[in-house]
Amino acid sequence: MISLRYHIVSITAVFLALAVGVVLGSTAISGRLLSGLNEDNGALGREVSALQSERHGLDARLADADRFASTVGPLAVKGQLADRTVLLVTTADAAPDDRDAVTDLLRSAGATVTGELQLTESFTDPDKADQLLDLVARLQPAGTLLPTGGDPGTRAGGLLGSVLLLAQDDNQPQATPDEQAAALGGLSSAGFVKADQGLRPAQLAVVLTGGAVPGDSAADRAAVLARFATQLDRSGAGAVLAGGDGSADGTGAVGVVRADTAATSVLSTVDHADTAAGRVVVVLALREQLDGKAGRYGVAGNAEGPAPGASG
Strand order through the sheet with 204-208: 193-195, 112-119, 85-91, 204-208, 238-242, 268-270, 296-297
Interhelix angle 152-164/129-139, rounded to 10 degrees, is 30
Contact 288, 294 (CB under 8 A): yes
Q: Domain total for the chain?
A: 2
Q: What is the pLDDT of residue 22?
A: 47
Contact 61, 179 (CB under 8 A): no
Please indicate, yes or no, if residue 96 is contained in any of the structural domains: yes
Q: Is 302 exposed, middle or buried (0-12, 13-18, 19+ CB in 10 A)?
A: middle
Q: Which of 23, 55, 77 is the last residue of a domain?
A: 77
Please indicate, yes or no, if residue 305 is contained in any of the structural domains: no
Residues 92 and 176 in one domain: yes
Q: Which of 24, 54, 77 is the last residue of a domain?
A: 77
Closest CA to 116 of 166, 186, 164: 164
Please indicate, yes or no, if residue 269 is contained in any of the structural domains: yes
Residues 173 and 283 in one domain: yes
Residues 163 and 119 in one domain: yes
Cα-flanking dihedrals φ and ψ of residue 158, to 5°? -65, -40
Residues 123 and 256 in one domain: yes
Residues 16 and 42 in one domain: yes
Residues 116 and 251 in one domain: yes
Residues in the chain: 312
Residues 229 and 154 in one domain: yes
Q: Is 52 exposed, middle or buried (0-12, 13-18, 19+ CB in 10 A)?
A: exposed
Please indicate, yes or no, if residue 253 is contained in any of the structural domains: yes
Q: What is the 3-state secondary structure (H, E, C) of 210-252?
A: CCCCCCCCHHHHHHHHHHHHHHHHHHCCEEEEECCCCCCCCCC
Please indicate, yes or no, if residue 303 is contained in any of the structural domains: no
Residues 173 and 284 in one domain: yes
- CA 77 to chain CA centroid, Å, is 23
Residues 121 and 26 in one domain: no
State how far the Cα of 50 lies from the Cα of 57, in Å rounded to an integer.
Answer: 11
Please indicate, yes or no, if residue 312 is contained in any of the structural domains: no
Non-local (6+) Cβ contacts of 92 within 8 A are: 118, 119, 120, 121
Dihedral through CA 289, CA 291, CA 292, CA 297, nearest 10? -40
Q: Which of 77, 108, 126 is the last residue of a domain?
A: 77
Burial of 7-25, coded b for 16+ CB within 10 Å and e otherwise, reads: eeeeeeeeeeeeeeeeeee
Identify the segments of the chain with pLDDT beneath 70: 1-31, 33, 40, 44, 46-66, 68-70, 310-312
Residues 172 and 61 in one domain: no
- Give strand pairing partners of 238: 204
Residues 133 and 203 in one domain: yes
Residues 121 and 233 in one domain: yes
Please indicate, yes or no, if residue 310 is contained in any of the structural domains: no
- The domain of 41 spans 1-77
State how far the Cα of 229 lies from the Cα of 241, in Å rounded to an integer.
Answer: 7
Record the pTM. 0.80
State how far the Cα of 311 lies from the Cα of 289, in Å rounded to an integer.
Answer: 18
pLDDT tens readout for residues 61-105 = 455 456 756 677 888 899 999 999 999 999 999 999 999 999 999
Strands (E), the chain: 85-91, 112-119, 193-195, 204-208, 238-242, 268-270, 296-297
- Residue 154: what residue type? T
**Residue 120 DSSP symbol:** P
- Give strand pairing partners of 269: 241, 296
Contact 288, 308 (CB under 8 A): yes
Please indicate, yes or no, if residue 141 is contained in any of the structural domains: yes
State how far the Cα of 294 lies from the Cα of 287, in Å rounded to an integer.
Answer: 10
- Give strand pairing partners of 297: 270, 305
